[in-house]
Amino acid sequence: MADEFAVRVAVRSYEVDANGHVNHAVYHQYGEHARMEHLRVAGCSPVRLNARGWGVILLETHARFLSELLLGEQVEVSSRVAFGTGKTFRIEHVLRRVPENVSENGAAPDARVAAEISCRMGLLDMTARRLVADPAARLAEVATEPALLGLGSG
């Protein structure tokens, strides 16, 4: 769909904990990377938002850890933005292991969901230090690709 976005990251050695899998806090960093890239590609980079005196802020985050990620694996982090009627909006992420080639025995590649992250976001007026009303309309004013944010055609 037009409003879905995804980035890939590789699990690096310094992200792995003593148990041999990605540290829980790193999953949140992967989500942050996907959110910022999603907004940037849609035309809502921090530079463009700051020019209007706005900044996107994280108000709440929740993660469900479903499957471990290991050193060297590739992870696809998808994101989707959902607006309601208030001053906040949601960004939902799915972190999925990128499957390697099909095995010699023809088994399906492992594309398990590793985590789901749900975030409540706001658009902050940097001068008033208050949330901006109708963040969907404000982001649509700035976006060069509003469809990536689920805000109609680009």
Q: What is the mean pLDDT of residues 53-82?
A: 96
Percent of the chain with pLDDT over 90: 86
Q: Is residue 154 very low, low, confident or very high in pLDDT (cuts 50, 70, 90)?
A: very low
Q: How far apart are CA 76 and CA 99, in angstroms?
A: 10
- Summarize pLDDT for 92-150 with one digit per residue, the tens: 999 999 987 545 555 555 678 999 999 999 999 999 999 999 999 999 999 999 999 99
* Helix, strand, or coil (residue 8): strand
Q: pTM, whole model, 2 decimals?
A: 0.89
Average confidence score pLDDT of the chain: 92
Domains of the chain: 4-100+110-149 (3.10.129.10)
Tokens of 18: 């003593």
Q: How far apart are CA 73 and CA 20, in angstroms?
A: 12
Q: What is the mean pLDDT of residues 73-89?
A: 96
